[in-house]
Amino acid sequence: MKRTLVSLLAVIVLLPLPAAMSGQSQPGKPADPAAAILAAHRKIDDSYKRASMSPFTAVAVRYFEPGQTVRLRVGPSSAAFEPADATPDGVDVTLQDGAFWFTPVAGSVSPAVLGKTPGGDDAVEPALPVTSRLRVSDKQVIRLGRYFIEPLARLDSGNVRVFDPDSAARSAFAGLKWYPPNLALQVEAAFTPNPSPDKIIMATSRGLKKEYYRVGTLAFAVEGTPQKLTVLAMSASPKAGDELFVPFRDATTGAETYEVGRYLMFPFQTDRAYEIDFNGATNPLCNYSPHYNCPIPPRDNVLTVAIRAGEMAYPKPH
């Protein structure tokens, strides 16, 4: 449900159009676009309701530097890294050589390792007991009591997030808040590649930094007003199918929509003509939970118009 939810969130975000546009109907366009938008929104809501690992079940997170070991303890009502009180069950977590290692704590309930679904939003059986120090990949999850522990490692850093399927936030979740379908905000856009993609260091909601590359721009108009968005990627040379990232702010930001901004995410295509569907704009996960780290849109991605389509601010923002 983390970055792995991108494919679901991007269903209605950006659709490549034929290079030569005409008034003819386009292949793959739904017969009832408004109904398709509503169905996509319901699918996202249903996924959050179902998932045992989502922003609404996240209860703790820890960011690691290489070589660092931290003890995680869980109890009947809480989970914490290096807690002040010694709750009964725990596991030692180490980031080493670009991977996380988990070591059972003597006297604790035995942790177990599980796989993840292709979407990455649930842990799946069978569970294998962890009896000694074990390397855990990004495709695996550790279960400790009722909690799920997800490691995400890189060579230079990593984080471990803890999920509680019985969290109060999950019990209270009744769906995200969406604008009604707005077909006027399905707009044609021209993609211009950046001939020399440069690196951008983006600030985040947790005061950290993330690196992306400016790989191009999308030019379009909203109600006759020209607009432009910078397109970001993890690589300076994205290949077809690689994820592109377009964080943005607009005239609704901080009032009707989340104060950090909203995101568009979609696979890179070789086509230069696109349709941006702002009905698929979604909030950073940090709108739902303080246990996420979300990039803040750069200054060149502040739109001068109001984008009243896609997701509004979650009713109980953090």
71-117 residue pLDDT tens: 999 988 889 998 766 667 899 999 999 999 999 998 888 999 999 99
- Locate all alpha helices (DSSP H) within the chain, ordered by sequence: 6-9, 33-50, 168-172
| pLDDT band for position 247 (cuts 50, 70, 90) | very high
Domain spanning 58-166, CATH class: mainly beta
Q: pTM for this one?
A: 0.87
Is residue 316 very low, low, confident or very high in pLDDT (cuts 50, 70, 90)?
low
At which residue do the structure tokens 């292709």 appear?
Answer: 118
| Distance, CA of 133 to CA of 93 (rounded, Å) | 9
- With beta carbons less than 8 A apart as the criterion, state whether 162 and 285 touch: no
The residue to which tokens 């769906």 are assigned: 175
pLDDT the model gives residue 4: 43
Q: Residue 86: its pLDDT value, please?
A: 67
Where do the domains of the chain lie?
3-51+176-301, 58-166
Please report, for residues 11, 91, 214, 229, 230, the alpha-carbon distance to residue 237 in angstroms, rounded to integers and kept in the order given.
Answer: 23, 40, 10, 18, 15
Q: Using one digit for the tens of pLDDT, what is the confidence trace for 253-264?
A: 999 999 999 999
5, 116 Cβ separation under 8 angstroms = no
Mean pLDDT score, 191-200: 95
Q: Which two tokens stand for residue 121?
A: 């939003």
Query: Is residue 1's pLDDT more than 60?
Result: no
Is 48 a residue whose pLDDT tops 80? yes
**Mean pLDDT throughout 215-235?**
96
